[in-house]
Amino acid sequence: MTESQRPSGEYPMYPSYGNGDAAYPPPPSYQPVQPVPMGPGTTVWPAPAPADAHYGGAGDGGGDGPYGHGPAQPAAEPPAARRRIRKPVALLAAVAIAAAIVGGGTATVISRLTDDGTATTAGGGVIPGTTVSQSSKGTVAGVAAALSPTIVEIGATSTAGQSTGSGVVITSDGEIVTNNHVIAGASEIKVTLSTGKTYTADVVGTDADKDLALIKLQGASGLKTATLGDSSKVAVGDQVVAIGSPEGLTGTVTSGIVSALDRDVTVAKDGDSGQDQSQGQDQDQQGGGRQWPFEFGGQQFNGNTGESTTTYKALQTDASLNPGNSGGALINMDGEIIGINSAMYSASSASGSGGSSAGSVGLGFAIPVNTLKADLDTLRAGNGS
């Protein structure tokens, strides 16, 4: 049996506290780690404090801790709790960033739509007016709906009889551009709008060298105006729409393409001298437009142009043009006027009397709109040749 080395009856004693009775060991100088309840049935114990952590100082006593050993330190935050707090914050940050990105993208799209929907300013070579709606842009129906109210029928009475042509409204108070040969020599001019309302018009200015004229309606206001485009941007193959009053049929719409550029077309400068009278009288009796003669490629079409002629560079189109389309509009698919229709070839019918027109064969010409824009000030001043 192992023997004890202590004397019999001698046992270790701890220092006395308070009343001198034996006491338990002194309490620790820091707050004991406590479990953290996380939810029903779940308890998390924080990780132990690092070895060099000081709770209440380095054993020097005093301080504000619960046991007089320095300031009380908060219990370590459980890792799981930290993770649960950080995740929502990270999620909110991600949502905010995504919203900013989407918001910026939306602003860009709206800006582009606003830019595509805004009429081009005069500084870009375009004179603003009626435009095609965004949803109908690029369609013949859209162009026709938007521009038809800006195209008028012109009835001119002269010593040669009654003829019909077309014109384009360019100001809300009734300035209208047409061909010089439509109103040359006229003693009276009547203009009918797409609504059927009729006005009397006066000649403001003419330019026979360019076959252009400017007339003004009496007492008109609040009219829809056409947008004058930029003919320098026209290319062969571009789709176009023509609107006019062929044979007195107001607001007739046809379509085609630009067949060629810069065609040298020669027309008569005098409204009466170049007209093939026998053919013209037949058409006058029918109430239609005159078959205005012109020369192209060394050949004469629709009669004799006479001795007083002028030549200009024209846009060629296969859009159907007939007598009465003269002075009307050739329009691009954005609804901009790119030319003023001025000459068209119609083969003579082999049958019937008087050599009446057999209709369009897809050979028409238009004065480029840039020629018109360059001549507007001269026409408004009442000058011309």
Q: Which of 29, 69, 163, 181 is catalytic?
A: 181
187 catalytic residue (yes or no): no
211 catalytic residue (yes or no): yes
Q: How far apart are CA 339 and CA 366, in angstroms?
A: 5
326 catalytic residue (yes or no): yes
Q: Which two tokens stand for residue 284?
A: 């006058």
Output phi, psi for 247, to 5 deg.
55, 30
Task: Report the chain's C-alpha Rg in angstroms.
Answer: 47
Q: Which of 207, 211, 282, 334 is catalytic?
A: 211
Q: Which of 29, 231, 326, 342 is catalytic?
A: 326
The answer to whether 166 touches 325, Cβ cutoff 8 Å, is yes
HEC sequence for the chain? CCCCCCCCCCCCCCCECCCCCECCCCCCCCCCCCCEEEECCEEECCCCCCCCCCCCCCCCCCCCCCCCCCCCCCCCCCHHHHHHHHHHHHHHHHHHHHHHHHHHHHHHHHHHHHHHHCCCCHHHCCECCECCCHHHCCCHHHHHHHHHHHEEEEEEEECCEEEEEEEEECCCCCEEEECHHHHCCCCEEEEECCCCCEEEEEEEEEECCCCEEEEEECCCCCCCCEEECCHHHCCCCCEEEEEECHHHCCCEEEEEEEEEEEEEEEEECCCCCCCCHHHHHHHHHHCCCCCCCEEECCEEECCCCCCCEEEEEEEEECCCCCCCCCCCEEECCCCEEEEEEEEEEEEECCCCCCCCEEEEEEEEEEEEHHHHHHHHHHHHCCCCC
Catalytic positions are: 181, 211, 326
